[in-house]
Structure 1
Amino acid sequence: MNAPDLLRSDWMRNRTYDELALGQSARLVRTLQQSDIQAFALVSGDVNPAHLDAEYAEGTRFHGVIAHGMWGGALISSVLGNQFPGPGTIYMEQTLRFARPVHVGDTLTIVLTVLEMFDDSGMVKLGCEASNQKGQTVISGLATVLAPRTRIERPRPALPEMHFLFDAEARMNAWLSEIKLATPLRCAVVHPCSEDALRAALLAAERGLITPTLIGPENRIRALAEQFELDLHGCQFQPTAHSHAAAEQACAMAAAGEMDLLVQGSLSGDELLAAVQAKPALHTGSRLAHVYRFDIPSYAKPLFISDAGINIRPDLDAKVEILRLAIGLAQAAGLPCPKVAVLSAVETITERITSTLDAAALCKMAQRGQIEGAILDGPLAFDSAVNLEAARLQGLNSPVAGDADILLAPDLESGSLLAKLLEYMAGAASCGVVLGARVPLAMSGRTDSVRTRLGSVGLAVLAASPVGWSERRELQHR
C-alpha cells in the first residue's frame, strides 16, 4: 500500500478508533442542485410535491422547491462512510433535528465532531451540524457508530453515470432559447392535422422563430385547435383539400420565394419529399440529405449524424455532398470548424470494406482543400469516434477521435440503426432536417413528440438563417 500521506485521490483510507480523539472533526461542503433532488426522489421513492413541483412549492411556507430533509442526513452518512472514521464504520444510531429548509443553490457545510469515545466497545458518538452559506444551522444531531479497529485502504468504487436524470425538455428549451432572430422566418406548415404537429408549429411561433402559414384543410385544422385549446392567433391559412395538395401548395410558395422553410405536419415524409423533388425551382444542384441533431446523456455536446433518412447507398461523390451539407449546418449551429468522424466498422483501410476506402479518400480531399470548414478523420468505428478511452486504446492520435461533432454514416441502414439506438436505448433527444433544396425541410416522423418536432423547426431555422446564431455568439464575446 502507499504511505498514508501519498494516497491518490481515487483511494479511500479510514481512521481507526485509535486515531480518533475527543474534539476531532471533519467537514464536507456540498451545493444542492436540482439533479440532487431528482436523484434522491428516484432512489427513495419520495415524490412529495414540495420537492418536485415548483408551482405547488411556491405556495408553501417555504416559497419554492426544497431538498428532502434526509438528503442532508445522507451527507452526514457520506462523511462517516467515506472519511471520518471512513471504510469499516458501522452506523448504530442517528438523531436529527431539521431547523431550516434547503433550497436549490444553497451550500451546506457538514461538520462532524467526536464528542464521546468508549474504549471497550469501540463506539464513538459524534455531533453533527449542517450550516448554510449564511452560517445558519440547518440540521443538527448525534451519530453513534462503531469505529473500525484496523486500517482499511481501498480504491474508490466507480459508479455509473445517472443518465436517467437527463432532462431532454430542459436541454431542448435551453438550446432553442439561444436562437435569436430579428424577424421570424416565413414558414409553410404542411398539413398540420395532428395535435403534436400543430402544437409544435404554434410553440415555434411563440418563440419568435417562425411566422406560420398553415396549409391544409382549414376547417379540420380549426376544429383540432378548438379541441385542444390551441390559439391560432397570428396564423395565416392556405386551404387545401388533402395532404397531397398541401405539399404541392407549400412547395409552390417556397419556389416563388414566399417561404423560408417547410415544416412537415401529419403527412408522410415521402409525400413531402416527392413534392419537393417534383418542383425544379426548389432544386439547387445539390442532392438532398437528412441530418440529425442528437442530445445524448452520455455525450458532452450535441452530435450530428448524416445521412440516416434519404441516401440509401451513397457513393464517394454523394458522401462529399452529404458532408458539405452537414458541415454547413454544424457551422450554422455555432461550430466554426466541426470535427467529422467518417464511420466504418474498423479503423484500418481495406479494399474489402468500401466505406474505409471512401473515408480515406474524403480525408485526403479535406487535406487538399476539396472539402472545407471541418477537420476530418476516418475510417473510425463508432466507439473510437465518440469515446476518448476507446480512441486511446486503439492508438489513435487525432483531434477528431473520441470528440466528434459530426458522424458521417457509411449508408442509410447503418445511420438509421445508429439513430434509433441512440434514441431508444441511450435516451437521446433528437431532431432532424432535410438540406439541399432551396429551403430547408423540418422533418419528423408521424409518431414524433412535440419536443422533437419543435427541435426540428429550430434546426431548420438555423439552416435557413444562421445569422441569428452568429449574432448571439458575437454579442456574448463583447
Structure 2
Amino acid sequence: MTQGTTFENRTYEELKVGDEASLARIAREEDFLVFATASGNHNPMHLAAYDGDGDGVPEAIAPSLWVGSLVSAVLGNLLPGAGTLYRHQSFDFSGHAQAGDELVVTVRVLEKLPEHEVRLSTEVRRAADGAVIVSGEALISAPTRKLRFDALDVPGLIVQRHRHFEKLVALAAPLDPLVTAVIAPEEPRSLGGALLAHAQNIITPILVGAPDRIAAAAAETGLSLEGIEIIDEPDHALAAHRAVDLVADGRAGALMKGHLHTDDLLRAALRKERGLRAGRRFTHVFVMDVPGVPHPLLVTDAAVNIQPDLKTKVDIVQNAIDVAISIGIAVPRVGMLSAVETVNPDIPSSIDAALLSKMADRGQITGGLVDGPLAMDNAVDIGAARTKGITSEVAGRAEVLVPPDIDSANMLAKQLAYISHAEGAGLVLGASVPIILNSRSDGDMARLASCAVAALHHARTRGLSPKH
C-alpha cells in the first residue's frame, strides 16, 4: 500500500450483505522469491531461473498460496479492514498466474453471523482475460471499533538476487571462450572462480603458478583440473611476467588475478618490454549488481589510481564508458561525484567534475553523457535531483559513478557490497587486454561476472561475433 494512504475500517454494524472491495496487484518474480524464502517452498516451477517441469521453458508460475494470500490484503486493509481476524478460509484453484500478470482480488459480504462473524466470498481474477484463478470463502471476526489509520510504513524488502550478472553471463555465453592467463590461482576462491567460468565456456584458463598448490586448491574445492594447461612457476612475480608473456605471444586475450599481490600483477603488465600499455592510464572499474537498482552500477576508480589528477580522470571516465557500452549500456550516464552539486573553488573535486563535464561536451570524452559535480543523492535519485532543481540527462539516472579519489571510490564500492548486498565484478582497463581483478573476499558470482564482463569487452573492442 502507498505510504500516505488513509484507511477506514468497516465495523460489524456497518457491514451489509453485498458490500464488496477489490484491489489490483501485478505478480512479480521477486514476490515468488520472497514467498520461497518465507515459506520454504523452493519448487522450481515458481522460479524463473529454472525449468521446473523439464519442457525446456522456465515457467515462473505464481505459487497458488501466494495468490490466495492476496485475499488477506483486501480483508485487512479494505473490507472489513483494521481489526479483522481470520477464522476460516477455503480456496479452489482453477487456474494459474505467471510473473507479469495483473491480478484483481475481490471480496464480497455474503452473510452476517452471530458473535460478530461474517462470511465473505473471495476470488482472484487475471485482469487480462477476466479468468477466475482462485475462488473460495472466508469466515472472519469483524472489527467492532471504528478505526482510521495511515498506511503503515512497513520496511521494504530487497531480493538479494543478482539479475544483472545473470544477464551478463547469458550475453557472454554465445562468444568463443576467452583464453585467460590466471596468475597464481593457488587457493580455492581464485581457482574456483576461474574453473566456474571455464565450466560455463566463458574463458579457457591457462593456470600459471605452483602446480602442487593449484592441485591442493582443486582438491579442497572438489573441482577437476583435467584438460587445463598449467605452467609451473611458483614465484608470484615471475608468474605474473609469464602470464604477460602469454598475452604478448598471442596465446592469451586476458589476465586474471589469483592469489598474489595486485602490485606484482600490475608491475608485470606495465613493463616497458612486451608489456600491456595501450596509450591510456590503467584504471579499475567495479561493475556492481545492486539489488533493487534496475541497471548495473559502475564505480571507478576504487583500486588503482590513488589521487588522480584531471588527466588521469579523463582516462578513468573514458575507460568506464567503454566497458559500460560493452555490457549493453548504449549511452552511459556518468555522474562525477563531489560533496556538492555546485562548483565550489574550495572543493577541488567539484572543479574537476565541472571540467570533465565540459570536456565531454566538447568531444574530448566520447560515447557517454557526463555531468557534474553531483552529490551522491542527486546522482542516483531522481527525486533528490528534482528537489535540488537539477535538470540533466544524468542527474538521478547515473549508471557510472566517479568519486574523487581511491578512498571515496573504495568506500562507496564496499558500502554497496556490505550494506546493500551488491556483488562487484572488477576489471582493470586501459591495457591492451582486460585484466580481471577480484578481491580476495569475492564469491563465485563476482568472479564469474568479472570473466563475463572481460569476455564481452574483449569481443566488442575486437569486433568479434558470437559463435552461434
Q: TM-score, with normalisation over the residues of structure 2?
A: 0.85
Structure 1: distance between partners of 2:132 and 2:351: 66
8 A contact 2:173–2:200 mirrored in 1: no
CA deviation after TM superposition for structure 1 residue 184, in Å:
1.8
CA deviation after TM superposition for structure 1 residue 374, in Å:
1.3
* 1:39 pairs with one of 34, 37, 40: 34
8 A contact 2:287–2:424 mirrored in 1: yes
| Pairing of 1:181-260 with structure 2 (within 5 A) | 181-260=174-253
CA deviation after TM superposition for structure 1 residue 27, in Å:
4.2
CA deviation after TM superposition for structure 1 residue 296, in Å:
1.1
8 A contact 1:125–1:145 mirrored in 2: no
SS in 2 for 1:432: strand
Indicate yes or no: 2:160 matched with 1:160: no
Structure showing the higher helix proportion among its residues: 1
Cα separation, partners in 2 of 1:191 and 1:322, compared to 1, 3 Å = same
Cα separation, partners in 2 of 1:228 and 1:367, compared to 1, 3 Å = closer
Moved more, 381-390 or 138-147: 138-147
CA deviation after TM superposition for structure 1 residue 371, in Å:
1.4
Q: 1:177 matched to which residue of 2? A: 170
Cα separation, partners in 2 of 1:121 and 1:224, compared to 1, 3 Å = closer
Instruction: Show CA shifts across 1:332-387 (max 9, x none).
Output: 11222211111111112111111111111111111112111111111111111111
Instruction: Show CA shifts across 1:383-417 (max 9, x none).
Output: 11111111111111111111001111111111111
CA deviation after TM superposition for structure 1 residue 9, in Å:
10
Q: 2:291 matched to which residue of 1? A: 297
| Pairing of 1:6-85 with structure 2 (within 5 A) | 10-12=5-7, 14=9, 20-28=15-23, 33-40=28-35, 46-47=39-40, 71-72=66-67, 74-85=69-80
Structure 2 stretches lacking a partner, 5+ long: none
CA deviation after TM superposition for structure 1 residue 103, in Å:
8.0
Computed over aligned residues only, the root mean square deviation of the Cα atoms, in angstroms, reads 3.6
Q: TM-score, with normalisation over the residues of structure 1?
A: 0.83
SS in 2 for 1:321: helix
Moved more, 326-335 or 131-140: 131-140
* 1:316 pairs with one of 294, 301, 310: 310
8 A contact 1:188–1:261 mirrored in 2: yes
SS in 1 for 2:246: helix
* 2:136 pairs with one of 130, 140, 149: 140
Q: 2:418 matched to which residue of 1? A: 424
Cα separation, partners in 2 of 1:462 and 1:109, compared to 1, 3 Å = same
Structure 2: distance between partners of 1:89 and 1:334: 50
Structure 1: distance between partners of 2:150 and 2:460: 49
* 1:345 pairs with one of 339, 344, 347: 339
SS in 1 for 2:311: helix
Cα separation, partners in 2 of 1:396 and 1:58, compared to 1, 3 Å = same
Aligned-residue identity in percent: 35
Structure 2: distance between partners of 1:367 and 1:109: 49
Q: 2:457 matched to which residue of 1? A: 463
Query: Between Structure 1 and Structure 2, how many residues are aligned?
Result: 456
SS in 2 for 1:178: helix
8 A contact 1:131–1:137 mirrored in 2: yes
SS in 1 for 2:172: coil
CA deviation after TM superposition for structure 1 residue 435, in Å:
0.8
Indicate yes or no: 2:281 matched with 1:287: yes
8 A contact 1:72–1:139 mirrored in 2: no
Moved more, 24-33 or 321-330: 24-33
Instruction: Show CA shifts across 1:255-311 (max 9, x none).
Output: 223211001112122221121122443212221100111111232211111111111
Indicate yes or no: 2:262 matched with 1:266: no
SS in 2 for 1:334: coil
Structure 2: distance between partners of 1:311 and 1:100: 61
8 A contact 1:306–1:326 mirrored in 2: yes
Cα separation, partners in 2 of 1:72 and 1:436, compared to 1, 3 Å = closer
Structure 1: distance between partners of 2:455 and 2:156: 33
Structure 1: distance between partners of 2:44 and 2:455: 37
8 A contact 1:386–1:404 mirrored in 2: yes
Q: 1:367 matched to which residue of 2? A: 361
CA deviation after TM superposition for structure 1 residue 108, in Å:
6.6
Indicate yes or no: 2:402 matched with 1:408: yes
Query: Which amino acid in the other structure matches residue 402 of structure 1?
Result: G
8 A contact 2:333–2:397 mirrored in 1: yes
Structure 2: distance between partners of 1:373 and 1:49: 43
SS in 2 for 1:166: coil
CA deviation after TM superposition for structure 1 residue 199, in Å:
1.9
Cα separation, partners in 2 of 1:219 and 1:138, compared to 1, 3 Å = same
Structure 2: distance between partners of 1:268 and 1:407: 26
Structure 2: distance between partners of 1:278 and 1:13: 73
Structure 1: distance between partners of 2:92 and 2:121: 14
